[in-house]
Amino acid sequence: MREILPALSRWYASGEPFGLATVVAVTRSAPRGPGAAMAVGPGDEVVGSVSGGCVEGAVFDLATEVVETGRAQLRTFCYSDEDAFAVGLTCGGEITLLVRPVSAATDPAFGEVAASVAEHRPVVVATVTDGPARRGSALAVWTDTGSGSLGNSGLDAAVTADARGELAQGATGLRHYGPRGERREDDVTVFLHSFAPPPRMLVFGAIDFAAAVARIGAFLGYLVTVCDARPVFADPRRFPDGAEVVVDWPHRYLRSTDTDERTVMCVLTHDPKFDVPLLEVALRSPAAYIGVMGSRRTHEDRLARLRETGLGETELARLRSPIGLDLGARTPEEVAVSIAAEIVALRWGGTGAPLADTTGTIHRPRPKSV
């Protein structure tokens, strides 16, 4: 959804209604998770994807239909291999989609939601998918306010409380309520779609490798900051648009900036005067990934220096050094791919092995915070 919001905002501002299909539930090996979206706008323009191509043709027809009728639909697509022309998933999974019309009349809060996502302000969109409440009705919830209604004040209050509880983690999924928001009842099904701010990637050391890492970090959806104490290297012109470039000592900058359990750090300085004080701070942070460039000899020397600062073995074990997966990478771009691959593997619990050499499910369970 985040990727297609610019197009949706353009359509919404023009006053043209559009059909929005959102994955609200998946089972088994589905290609896209809850929150994946596809939309059909004016002139049959299509953005987004809900299945990687398996059912998009049928979804196009559904999106066009809901715009014409003004009525949202809930549709489930399953595996189908008996008929070569049947609409179904080839992966053996199942996805359930909510397809609804969106316009200023049907969803007056949509513009503000889109602006919040663009500005990285946390927001949850709650949408009725099934039950006695009107399917497709939407309620937007921020930390201190809300907009829209699901059709009943009791239901609005219950959903608002749950949505605010999920804002910190950015959880997305279905919740069940009674018609007036009663707990432990399942008459009404509501999809809570959380938009947490994107995770951060902090790149220390403004070398050529840093420019490649910054590009692939932005491609993966991270908010990228590059930090170096040397102004001649920390030149914004050397880095992709959208990357923040900071001139400061890395350890001093890290002490003054926010990090959380989704933050990833790539330390590319491989100079003790920079990376030892930086890592002393980094290894005491909640960051999910701390990768450090350097040879194995450099790594051993670095560990000895870090032990002298008082860091313990549990903290030192968090270091990913030498940084990246063993891909045989040599160029800055290839090294950036190996670093990104290690980050993705850690994020989802992957092994880094070729899928052809593994067995069992390909897609692991989706963490709440992703």
Report pLDDT digits (tens) over 112-123. Answer: 999 999 898 999
pLDDT number for residue 29: 61
Distances (CA, A) of 79 to 65, 85, 93, 138: 24, 13, 6, 30
Query: For the sheet containing 146-148, what is the strand order?
Result: 146-148, 138-141, 123-130, 188-195, 173-177
Q: What is the percent of the chain with per-residue pLDDT over 70, rounded to a whole number? A: 91
**Better pLDDT: 56 or 267:** 267
pLDDT number for residue 92: 57
pLDDT tens track for 335-370: 999 999 999 999 888 888 888 888 877 666 555 443
- Does the structure show a pLDDT above 70 at 11? yes
Residues 67-85 have a mean pLDDT of 75
- Give the β-pairing of 94-102 and 73-77: antiparallel
- Does the structure show a pLDDT above 50 at 83? no
pLDDT number for residue 165: 85
Q: What is the spatial distance between Cα 155 and Cα 11, in angstroms, rounded to a whole number?
A: 30
Q: Where does residue 336 fall: left (phi above 0), alpha (psi -120 to 50 degrees), or beta otherwise? A: alpha
Residues 38-61 have a mean pLDDT of 89
Nearest CA to 130 among 195, 177, 69? 177
Is-contact 285 259, C-beta < 8 A?
yes
Nearest CA to 136 among 103, 99, 168, 166? 99
pLDDT tens track for 93-112: 788 999 999 999 889 999 99
pLDDT tens track for 296-329: 999 999 999 999 999 999 999 999 999 999 999 9
> 């937007």: which residue's tokens?
140
Q: 3-class SS at 302?
A: helix
Nearest CA to 248 among 258, 263, 261, 233? 233
Residues 163-176 have a mean pLDDT of 84
pLDDT number for residue 355: 85
pLDDT confidence tier of residue 53, bands split at 50, 70 and 90 = low
pLDDT confidence tier of residue 139, bands split at 50, 70 and 90 = very high
For 112-170, give the DSSP string.
HHHHHHHTT--EEEEEEEESSSPTT-EEEE-SS-EEE--S-HHHHHHHHHHHHHHHTTT
For the beta carbon of residue 353, count every other beta carbon within 10 angstroms. Answer: 9
Q: What is the spatial distance between Cα 4 and Cα 168, in angstroms, rounded to a whole number?
A: 23
Q: What is the spatial distance between Cα 40 and Cα 60, in angstroms, rounded to a whole number?
A: 7
Q: What is the spatial distance between Cα 316 and Cα 280, in angstroms, rounded to a whole number?
A: 10
Q: What is the spatial distance between Cα 274 and Cα 333, in angstroms, rounded to a whole number?
A: 23
Longest distance between any two alpha carbons in the chain, whole Å: 70
Q: Which residues contact 204 (CB under 8 A, 6 or more apart)?
A: 226, 227, 228, 250, 254, 265, 266, 267, 268, 269, 274, 275, 278
Is-contact 102 8, C-beta < 8 A?
yes
Phi, psi of 226, deg, nearest 5:
-110, 130
pLDDT number for residue 261: 92
Q: What is the spatial distance between Cα 147 and Cα 152, in angstroms, rounded to a whole number?
A: 13
Q: What is the percent of the chain with per-residue pLDDT over 90, rounded to a whole number? A: 71
Q: What is the DSSP letter of 91?
A: S
pLDDT tens track for 210-246: 999 999 999 998 999 999 999 999 999 999 888 999 9
Sign for the CA dihedral angle at 184, 185, 189, 190 comes to negative
**Better pLDDT: 365 or 15:** 15
